[in-house]
Amino acid sequence: MKNMRVVMTNMGCYVNKGDRAILISIVKYLSEKYPFLKILVQGEFSELLEFNSFDAQILNSVTFIHISAHPFTGYLKVILSKIKVRKCSFSNNHLTANLNFQKQKSLYSKFLLSLTTIIDLFLLIFRIPPLVKNIYLKNSDLIISGGGTQLEEAESGKSIIPLFVHNLTPLYLSKLTYKKPTYIVGQTIGPIRTFLGKLLTKFILEKFDGIYVREIHSLNYLKTTLLIKNCNIGMSGDLVFLLYGTSAVNDYKNVKIEFYFNNNRTLGICLRKSKQIDSKVLITIFSQFINYILKNTNFIIYLYPQVIDKMNDFHNDYDLLYVLYKNYEGNKRVVLLDTSDWSIFDCIQFLNGLDFLISMRMHPIIFKVIGESKKHSFIAISHIHKFEGLLDDLKCSNRLISIKELTLECLIEKFSEVSKNEKILCKELDFVKQRISEVIDNIIIENYNKKFNLM
């Protein structure tokens, strides 16, 4: 068969194992089922190699490329970013001064991003050719934005232009300038906080050939809030479900991971910082919960950080879990894990082997249920509707706690309820995987037939 070039954009950040798993899942699926595809990924292979060589090896056949989110203002952004934000002496208190300075820098960065995004989109809307041609987009046959970057503002401050809009620029560029078939698959969309943000997002999304979100709440947001009409919209699912039932997952065994179980009953806890709950309150609730578990059960408790990002304090799960762990230092039944060099398959093997998981991140839950073991007991603590959508798909919405309703009593009650009513989710997992596969297959086959006039 003749070759076809597919460009994958907005695949997120490799330090986030969920984003990394999305990329590996879609690349494995496409390369194994459609060997005629030439896959190019927006990102840096050297960055991935730093995190885990095993995961990097899986993506050996992929060409990593650079696509600027600022086709007109790239040089302007570099120049403006050199401007120093003047450090003022706000008070004699150095901590207060530093906090104010960091706030200034953050506001300046957001202003710069919004300014350059507006300029780029304005010029693209009027069909002005970009200053620098992107040969990867120009020579591609198909563009897919694959789910690593979410189009929502649940955890960000209110801004006139949503910060995620600049991630849409390469897609908008591919569609308007190069006339390429462009799709969004497996992403969460909404909420968007401002009228202008909704208007701009709607304007861009309606130019694409198809939008297939990962859960029902995003689909409803497209239909009822953004009122998307001039585009094919539907549901796919989180692309990591493509790994369910594969030999890549079922045959993977790491003796270092098996060491953590050793015939003990195990409970995993994955926490993250959230603007919807104070970290001190979160630590207090889980400290009390761990005390309850230590007193009333024989569980070994593993504190599992999904994201260890030393460059981004807000997204660094390890720092938050370390504060919790300090309360139990020396207690052999409470273990803080360092997952910084783990493969995603290590994560799947570990989480799937746990008897129970409580997670504030979505992908640890998916990792837990797609493994070979049928240990599907978990509680999801939700801060955004992607959790509700995931649990709706798996038909276990009773396992969800809204972060705004999180209390010790609620956590203990839900833990007891789920522990007594274990449910195996194989049927639901098969359904979700099939739905995702059908969406991707239709996109590939339809565009292959169009390219080579096989319709």
Predicted confidence (pLDDT) at residue 94 exceeds the cutoff of 60? no
Do the domains at 4-243+432-451 and 253-430 have one common CATH topology? yes
* Domain 253-430 -> CATH class: alpha beta
pLDDT exceeds 50 at position 228: yes
In Å, how far are 70, 148, 308, 318 from 13, measured between CA atoms? 19, 7, 11, 17
**Rounded mean pLDDT of 209-228?**
93
Q: What is the pLDDT of residues 255-308, one digit of tens each?
A: 889 889 888 899 999 999 998 999 999 999 999 999 999 999 999 999 999 999
Q: Is 368's pLDDT higher than 70?
A: yes
Q: Are 130 and 358 in contact (CB under 8 A)?
A: no
* Residue range 199-204: mean pLDDT, rounded: 86
Q: What is the domain partition of the chain in residue ranges?
A: 4-243+432-451, 253-430
Q: What is the CATH number of domain 4-243+432-451?
A: 3.40.50.11720
What is the residue-averaged pLDDT of the chain?
86
Model confidence, pTM: 0.90
Instruction: With a cut of 80, say whether residue 83 has pLDDT above it.
Output: no
